[in-house]
């Protein structure tokens, strides 16, 4: 079917049916940096969905801090699908909201994570402080910008990446704790979210290095044209896996299960994977990953499940009340 | 049989009923919900949450900076109100309109703008740095943001009162031999003080709860520049609803007691001056 015929058909159907036909809508509740990704993906999906001979669909997006978004859904925001920064936040949809089954993460391939990212360093152009790896971040003359892991999903990945590096390099948990403690002594500002930290670093020009999502770092580079900033990939980082799921209770109430499932499955299709890669998320699909191999530096990546025993273990241990992060600051 | 005296002004029952419904829906029910949520904690749990060193540090910071900002606005705001009421000069109307801007501006915008200016690399921050003064990311920066946000309160409460004091009263005092300071102390101040306290209390209360503008300029370092509303957000992000409401209750009680004291003080002053 050509696009023109398609557009005509779409026009005709709106003219005939008019506003009387309730168009199906789908609400995707997501976290902050995926804004650009889902704008593009939604366009592609609406087109694909109609081509499959379905009613046209309107997709709404909502963005915000991952934890806040999860809370909004628990408190009654009628999300059909959630696409959040970490599995820990989606787990709460089960344990606090009873909106999804406990085994939600095994329902889609790759632990329900169609795309991944990692944590990289963003430094000033020319890398004046010569920052190459994690060890440089604990030097006394280096000032590091990262958000507060208590309020930011991205900041938790930053923290764990530093921890994983120190543990491998220096061999023990105590050494790792000393390392991150030194690192956080170099942090002059703890913003509440990733975008806040980016503003502090890029616009207010505070600090020598920003710990950032790889996709955020690329986006910042793209937006300012690469005149003032450059990306440094550390020797080891963490595989950040932002998962997706259908919100069962909501799709059952709204009768949108088929649509919601198709939406998430499309993320795994070559087209969906390509859109993710174009928006600087690492695709899971091997052949699409090969197409974009030049874009993403080859990194040694540890995973949360293998290295930390999953979010259920890591969250309370590191970021809960009295956890490692609190201890670092009480010791000061 | 019950004896009913109907008030002189009609419509008492209707208006009171309306007032109560309105207040319940907007203020009482949400606040009660918070207390009910917090009541699910035992006293010991509640005490452990609110006596944690981080919470106490944030409590001191939030109330301290709000108090400083309210005092600062109490001084400068009085001056502003005085200038706007007593003198006419070109551009007065524009300044008059500018006073309300801090209310209209989204607080986050104010916070980001102030941070950009007063950060160590910002234009004003650099100047301050030369004399060894750090503004953004210190309690000073928080006070600055709160001063900005609460600026209109004192000015706007004082203006009508000042305008109501006829110039002749001051002139009469001067004719009777009062020096300018005496005129201020014995003639103007007693008339202004109740309104001034209202403005001060409003500015203070607003400052204690302010989140949006402070969060960008505070730096949010635990134990140092972390405000109480941020701690509530932190608790919520950990899905610790009870902990969050416990801090909310703490803030509410402290603020209520302080506002009550200010009100009592105000009443004593008003009765003393009449």
For B2-60, write each residue's pLDDT tens digit: 556 666 777 888 899 999 999 999 989 999 988 888 888 899 999 999 998 889 999 99
> Is A45 exposed, middle or buried (CB count within 10 Å of its CB: 0-12, 13-18, 19+)?
buried
Give dist(CA A255, CA B237) in Å, integer.
30
Query: Per the domain annotation, does B19 fall within a domain?
Result: no
* Token pair for B177: 């031999």
Q: Which domains, and CATH codes, for chain A? A: 3-113+241-291 (3.40.190.10), 117-240+299-331 (3.40.190.10)
pLDDT band at A19 (very low <50, low <70, confident <90, very high): very low
Query: Per the domain annotation, does B143 fall within a domain?
Result: yes
- Return the residue matching tokens 């102390």: B185
Give dist(CA B85, CA B100) in Å, integer.
16
The reply to whether residue A148 touches residue B116, judged by beta carbons under 8 angstroms, is no
Min Cα–Cα distance to chain A from B218, Å: 8
Cβ(A160)–Cβ(A166) under 8 Å?
A: no
Residue pLDDT, tens place only, B67-81:
999 999 999 999 999
Report ipTM (2 d.p.).
Answer: 0.72
A33: Cβ contacts below 8 Å, ≥ 6 apart: A154, A194, A195, A213, A215, A216, A219
Query: Per the domain annotation, does B3 fall within a domain?
Result: no
Which pTM does this prediction carry?
A: 0.80
Cβ(B125)–Cβ(B117) under 8 Å?
A: yes
pLDDT band at A325 (very low <50, low <70, confident <90, very high): very high
pLDDT at A17 over 50: no
Could you tell me the residue range of the domain that residue B113 belongs to? 51-223+250-273
Among the partner-chain residues B121, B220, B237, the one whose CB lies closest to the CB of A205 is B121
Write the CATH number for B97: 1.10.3720.10
A205 interfacial to chain B (CB closer than 8 Å): yes
* Token pair for A18: 């008019």
Residue pLDDT, tens place only, A284-315:
999 999 999 888 988 899 999 899 998 889 99
A32 interfacial to chain B (CB closer than 8 Å): no
Q: Say how many domains are in chain B.
A: 1
Min Cα–Cα distance to chain A from B231, Å: 10
Q: In whole angstroms, how large is the CA radius of gyration of chain B?
A: 23
Give dist(CA B82, CA B100) in Å, integer.
16
State how far the alpha carbon of A207 is from the alpha carbons of B76, B112, B118, B230, in Å: 35, 17, 15, 23
pLDDT of residue B249: 93
Query: Per the domain annotation, does B15 fall within a domain?
Result: no
How would you classify the pairing of strands A244-246 and A24-30? unpaired
Query: Per the domain annotation, does B94 fall within a domain?
Result: yes
A189 interfacial to chain B (CB closer than 8 Å): yes
Among the partner-chain residues B220, B238, B240, the one whose CB lies closest to the CB of A192 is B220
Residue pLDDT, tens place only, A151-174:
888 899 999 999 999 999 999 999
C-alpha angle B209/B59/B147, rounded to 5°?
45
Nearest to B227 by CA among B52, B61, B50: B61
pLDDT of residue B74: 94
SS (H, E, C) A217-244: HHHHHHHHCCCCEEEECCCEEEEECCCE
A321 interfacial to chain B (CB closer than 8 Å): yes
Query: Per the domain annotation, does B109 fall within a domain?
Result: yes
Query: Per the domain annotation, does B11 fall within a domain?
Result: no
Provide the 3-class DSSP secondary structure of residue A212. strand
The terminus-to-terminus CA distance of chain B in angstroms comes to: 40
Give dist(CA A173, CA A259) in Å, integer.
46
pLDDT of residue B187: 86
Give dist(CA B112, CA B122) in Å, integer.
12
Mutate one of A70, A184, A200, A319 to test the B interface: name it (highest B CB count within 10 A): A200
CA A58 to chain CA mean position, Å: 23
* Token pair for B187: 């003639």
pLDDT at B173 over 60: yes
A204 interfacial to chain B (CB closer than 8 Å): yes
Residues of A in contact with B233 (CB under 8 A): 151, 192
Give dist(CA B90, CA A281) in Å, integer.
57
Give dist(CA A89, CA B239) in Å, integer.
9
* Token pair for B217: 């300029």
Can you state the angle between helices B53-86 and B228-237, rounded to 10 degrees?
130
pLDDT of residue A249: 95
Query: Per the domain annotation, does B254 fall within a domain?
Result: yes
Min Cα–Cα distance to chain A from B234, Å: 6
Mean pLDDT for chain A overall: 89
pLDDT of residue B260: 92
pLDDT of residue B7: 66
DSSP class per residue in B73-138: HHHHHHHHHHHHHH---TTHHHHHHHTTHHHHS-HHHHHHHHHHHHSTTSHHHHHHHHTT---TTS
B239 interfacial to chain A (CB closer than 8 Å): yes
Can you tell me the mean pLDDT for B165-179?
88
């Amino acid at each position: 079917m050509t696009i023109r015929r398609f557009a005509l058909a779409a026009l005709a159907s709106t003219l005939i049916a008019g506003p009387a036909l309730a168009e199906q809508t789908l609400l995707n509740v997501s976290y902050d940096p995926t804004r650009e990704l889902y704008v593009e993906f939604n366009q592609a999906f609406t087109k694909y969905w109609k081509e499959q001979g379905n009613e046209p669909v309107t997709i709404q997006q909502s963005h915000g801090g991952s934890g806040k978004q999860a809370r909004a859904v628990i408190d009654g925001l009628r999300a059909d699908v959630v696409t959040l920064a970490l599995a820990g936040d989606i787990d709460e949809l089960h344990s606090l909201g009873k909106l999804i089954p406990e085994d939600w993460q095994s329902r889609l391939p790759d632990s329900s994570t169609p795309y991944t990212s990692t944590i990289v360093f963003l430094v000033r152009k020319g890398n004046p402080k010569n920052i190459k790896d994690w060890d440089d971040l604990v030097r006394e003359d280096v000032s590091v910008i990262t958000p507060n892991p208590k309020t930011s999903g991205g900041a938790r990945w930053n923290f764990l990446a530093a921890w994983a590096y120190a543990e491998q390099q220096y061999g023990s948990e105590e050494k790792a704790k000393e390392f991150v403690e030194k690192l956080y002594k170099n942090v002059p500002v703890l913003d509440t979210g990733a975008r806040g930290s980016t503003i502090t670093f890029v616009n207010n020009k505070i600090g020598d290095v920003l710990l950032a999502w790889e996709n955020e770092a690329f986006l910042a580079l793209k937006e300012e044209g690469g005149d003032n900033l450059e990306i440094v990939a550390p020797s080891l980082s963490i595989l950040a896996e932002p998962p997706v799921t259908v919100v069962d209770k909501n799709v059952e109430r709204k009768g949108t299960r088929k649509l919601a499932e198709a939406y998430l499955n499309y993320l795994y299709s070559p087209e969906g994977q390509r859109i993710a890669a174009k928006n600087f998320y690492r695709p899971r699909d091997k052949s699409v990953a090969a197409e974009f191999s030049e874009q993403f530096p080859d990194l040694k990546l540890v995973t949360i499940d293998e290295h930390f025993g999953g979010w259920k273990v890591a969250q309370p241990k590191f970021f809960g009340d009295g956890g490692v992060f609190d201890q670092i600051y009480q010791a000061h | 049989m019950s004896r009913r005296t109907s008030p002189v002004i009609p419509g008492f029952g209707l208006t009171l009923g309306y007032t109560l419904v309105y207040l319940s829906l907007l203020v009482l029910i949400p606040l009660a919900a918070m207390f009910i949520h917090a009541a699910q904690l035992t006293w010991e749990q509640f005490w452990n949450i609110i006596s944690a060193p981080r919470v106490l540090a944030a409590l001191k910071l939030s109330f301290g900076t709000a108090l400083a900002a309210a005092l600062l606005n109490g001084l400068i705001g009085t001056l502003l109100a005085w200038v706007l009421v007593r003198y006419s000069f070109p551009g007065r109307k524009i300044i008059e309109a500018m006073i309300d801007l801090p209310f209209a501006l989204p607080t986050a915008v104010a916070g980001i703008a102030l941070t950009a200016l007063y950060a160590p690399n910002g234009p004003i921050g650099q100047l301050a740095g030369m004399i060894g003064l750090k503004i953004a990311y210190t309690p000073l920066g928080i006070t600055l943001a709160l001063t900005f946000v609460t600026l209109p309160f004192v000015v706007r409460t004082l203006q009508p009162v000042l305008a109501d004091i006829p110039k002749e009263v001051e002139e009469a005092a001067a004719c009777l031999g009062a020096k300018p300071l005496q005129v201020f102390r014995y003639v103007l101040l007693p008339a202004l003080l109740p309104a001034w306290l209202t403005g001060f209390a409003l500015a203070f209360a607003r400052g204690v709860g302010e989140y949006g503008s402070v969060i960008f300029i505070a730096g949010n370092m635990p134990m140092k520049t972390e405000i109480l509303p941020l701690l509530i957000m932190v608790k919520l992000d950990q899905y610790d609803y009870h902990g969050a409401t416990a801090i909310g209750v703490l803030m509410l009680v402290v603020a209520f007691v302080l506002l009550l004291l200010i009100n009592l003080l105000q009443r004593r002053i008003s009765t003393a001056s009449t």
